[in-house]
């Protein structure tokens, strides 16, 4: 696809840049932001003219409905720079489509393509020096929208604010990742908002994850809300299980986010003749496979981490260590995917989009 340049946009450039103050080799994920951001307001039933302005705090009324009723959604994307200094996005139309599905579910206005993608293109053109070359370097992109309209009546807002922030990034997780399988808490329920990237979904994970951290685990593998017998997601990522030489991952549903990295890995695996099955994986099935040695790998998949191998899992006060493999499918698929993203391999799928 080709992203059309947004012409109807008001641009105010920052008089100075903080880029020379940033240590790009030792940057922590999501804490440093570029010089500019995109802002667009929804008012009087329509989207107003988008603006690119210097990164700065915003002012909201204390009764803004985002504070009281949680109307807030977001996306996560990345921009990459190749060896020729060109900047690329990875399947951005998928993020735009999912963002609007989240908006519909949260009773918020959909954001037009020209504002979401066209505005992002213009913002990236201004901030292209913040995208650093080299495997592992990227510019994390955070589009988000929230209810800015005031009032504490329990009803959808009439005013909204759409914004895009950019943050230079390296690795999301560092060190080994161990996960605890949830026995009581759930990420989402049928009929709920699990398939939307709603802010509250992530806030609801913090307490169970804190409890897991206290037991020595970095993340939680969520189970279904009704029976706690089906494995669903790992922390903020979709999750894959390799039993013998078959990769399994849960089907998307009202409870499980339709991850873009997830669907890309499935297509990559099929191209490489790796056997993939999309079906529910039971907790008992995983424990049995761990005990008999047929469980080879577990890994998370998401935009921020791309692919994150998991070294072991805990369940019912027992810990199951995974084998250390020389031929890891997780690392093989990660290498193939990131080579496409960084334009070091042919993109036979048509996933990458030049800025």
CATH number at residue 133: 3.30.470.10
Q: Is the pLDDT of residue 100 over 80?
A: yes
3-state secondary structure of 277: strand
Question: What are the backbone angles phi and psi of residue 165, rounded to the nearest 5°?
Answer: -110, 150
Residue 140 and residue 169: Cα distance in Å, rounded? 6
Domain finish residue from 170, 188, 207? 170
- Say how far apart CA 231 and CA 214 lie, in whole Å: 22
Residue 348 lies in a domain: no
Residues 19 and 71 in one domain: yes
Nearest CA to 131 out of 77, 92, 174 is that of 77
For residues 239 and 289, state if they share a domain: yes
Residues 6 or more apart in contact with residue 242 via CB below 8 angstroms? 248, 295, 296, 297, 298, 329, 330
Please tell me whether residues 157 and 201 are part of one structural domain.
no
How far apart CA 260 and CA 284 sit, in angstroms, is 28
Residues 52 and 149 in one domain: yes
pLDDT digits (tens, 9 = 90+) for 262-275: 999 999 999 999 99
pLDDT (0 to 100) of residue 173: 64
Local confidence band at 7 (pLDDT 50, 70, 90 cut-offs): confident
CA distance 285 to 231: 10
Given a contact cutoff of 8 angstroms between Cβ atoms, the answer to whether 283 and 223 are in contact is yes
For 19-78, write each residue's pLDDT tens digit: 999 999 889 888 999 999 999 999 999 999 999 999 999 999 999 999 999 999 999 999
Query: Quick check: is 246 in a domain?
Result: yes
CA distance 95 to 79: 13
Residues 184 and 258 in one domain: yes
Q: Please tell me the pTM assigned to this model.
A: 0.94
100 three-class SS? helix
Q: Are residues 100 and 200 in the same domain?
A: no
Q: What is the pLDDT of residues 129-160, one digit of tens each?
A: 999 999 889 999 999 999 999 999 999 999 99
Per DSSP, the three-state class of 4 is coil
Cβ pair 204, 62 in contact under 8 A: no
Q: Which of 154, 170, 186 is the last residue of a domain?
A: 170
Kindly report which listed range (8-17, 79-88, 187-196) carries the lowest average pLDDT score: 187-196
Q: Helical H runs in 272-325?
A: 283-292
d(CA 355, CA 345): 18
Checking if the pLDDT of 175 tops 80, the result is no
Q: Which domain holds residue 185?
A: 178-341
Tell whether 195 and 332 lie within a shared domain.
yes
**CATH code of 257's domain:** 3.20.10.10
d(CA 73, CA 61): 19
Q: 3-state DSSP call for residue 118?
A: helix
7: left (phi over 0), alpha (psi -120 to 50) or beta: alpha
Q: Is residue 349 part of a domain?
A: no
Q: Environment class of residue 94 by beta-carbon count within 10 Å: exposed (0-12), middle (13-18) or buried (19+)?
A: middle
Distance of alpha carbon 170 from alpha carbon 328, whole angstroms:
22
Residues 160 and 188 in one domain: no
pLDDT value at position 1? 78
DSSP code per residue over 285-337: HHHHHHHHT-EEEEEEEETTTEEEEE-EEEETTEEEEPP--SS-HHHHHHHHH
Do 52 and 148 fall within a single domain?
yes
Mean pLDDT estimate for the chain: 94
Closest of 51, 144, 67 to residue 99, by C-alpha: 144
Q: Are 148 and 279 within one domain?
A: no
The closest alpha carbon to 168, from 6, 355, 11, 20, belongs to 20
**What phi, psi does 52 have (nearest 5°)?**
-110, 120
State how many domains the chain has: 2
pLDDT at position 174 over 70: no
Domain boundary among the residues 115, 146, 170 is at 170
List of residues 6+ apart from 318 with CB closer than 8 A: none
Please report whether residue 63 resides in a domain: yes
- Is residue 67 classed as helix, strand or coil in its secondary structure? helix
């Amino acid at each position: 696809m080709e992203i059309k340049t947004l012409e109807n946009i008001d641009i105010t450039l920052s008089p100075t840049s903080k880029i020379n103050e940033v240590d790009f080799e030792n940057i922590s994920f999501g804490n440093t932001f570029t010089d500019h951001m995109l802002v667009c307001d929804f008012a009087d039933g329509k989207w107003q003219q988008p603006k690119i302005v210097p990164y700065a705090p915003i002012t909201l009324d204390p009764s803004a409905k985002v504070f009281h009723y949680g109307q807030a959604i977001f996306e996560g994307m990345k921009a990459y720079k190749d060896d020729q200094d060109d900047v690329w996005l990875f399947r951005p139309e998928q993020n735009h489509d999912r963002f609007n599905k989240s908006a519909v579910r949260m009773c918020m206005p959909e954001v037009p393509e020209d504002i979401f993608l066209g505005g992002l293109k213009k913002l990236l053109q201004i901030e292209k020096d913040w995208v650093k070359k080299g495997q592992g370097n990227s510019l994390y992109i955070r589009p988000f929208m929230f209810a800015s309209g005031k009032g504490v009546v329990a009803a959808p807002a009439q005013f909204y604010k759409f914004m895009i922030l950019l943050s230079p990034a390296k690795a999301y997780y560092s060190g080994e990742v161990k996960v605890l399988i949830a026995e009581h808490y759930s990420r989402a329920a049928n009929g709920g908002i699990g398939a939307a990237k709603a802010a509250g979904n992530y806030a609801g994970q913090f307490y169970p994850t804190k409890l897991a951290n206290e037991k020595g685990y970095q993340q939680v593998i969520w189970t279904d809300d009704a029976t706690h017998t089906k494995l669903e997601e790992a922390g903020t990522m979709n999750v894959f299980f390799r039993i013998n030489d078959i990769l399994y991952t849960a089907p998307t549903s009202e409870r499980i986010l339709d991850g873009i990295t997830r669907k890309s890995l499935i297509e990559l695996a099929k191209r490489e003749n790796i056997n993939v099955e999309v079906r529910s994986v039971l907790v008992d099935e995983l424990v049995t496979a761990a005990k008999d040695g047929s469980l080879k790998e577990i890994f998370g998949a998401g935009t921020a981490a791309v692919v994150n191998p998991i070294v072991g899992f805990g369940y019912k006060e027992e810990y199951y260590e995974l084998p250390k493999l020389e031929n890891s499918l997780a690392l093989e698929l990660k290498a193939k995917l990131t080579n496409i993203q960084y334009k070091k391999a042919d993109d036979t799928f048509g996933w990458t989009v030049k800025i």
